[in-house]
Amino acid sequence: MDHRDLGRGLCHLSCGRPNPTTHHCFGRIVWWSYIERLQVQIKLAVAVSGWLKLVLDVSWSWIALAFFGCSVLLLAEKLALHPVAIRFHQKALADRLAENQLALRALDRLS
């Protein structure tokens, strides 16, 4: 057994094939490291997902509460301003009706 056989034996042990090329061996190592990284990322996502859901639920409840509070505030403002607007328009319309009646009487006298 010379030094070339030792290299083949090591590659044979790491790749599981007799006499593989170095490129093929390297490809399997890269693929294996990719799979391991993917497994770690999946495990991390699964471990964190419960806490992430809790944080998102709490934040969405605060956002929904803020929207509800703003809606109640806008409703109260509209309900408070509605009678004021009605009175203002009634008063403005009453002044115009009185002016129009005066103008109609004047036109009746002139004709």
Other C-beta atoms closer than 10 Å to the C-beta of 25 total: 17
Q: How far apart are CA 26 and CA 11, in angstroms?
A: 10
Q: How far apart are CA 29 and CA 10, in angstroms?
A: 14
User: Can you give the pTM of this predicted structure?
Assistant: 0.44
Other C-beta atoms closer than 10 Å to the C-beta of 8 total: 13
**Closest residue by Cα to residue 64 from 76, 75, 72, 74:** 72
Hey, what are 62's tokens? 């605060």
pLDDT digits (tens, 9 = 90+) for 21-74: 655 666 677 777 888 989 999 999 999 999 999 999 999 999 999 999 999 999
Hey, what are 44's tokens? 């991390």
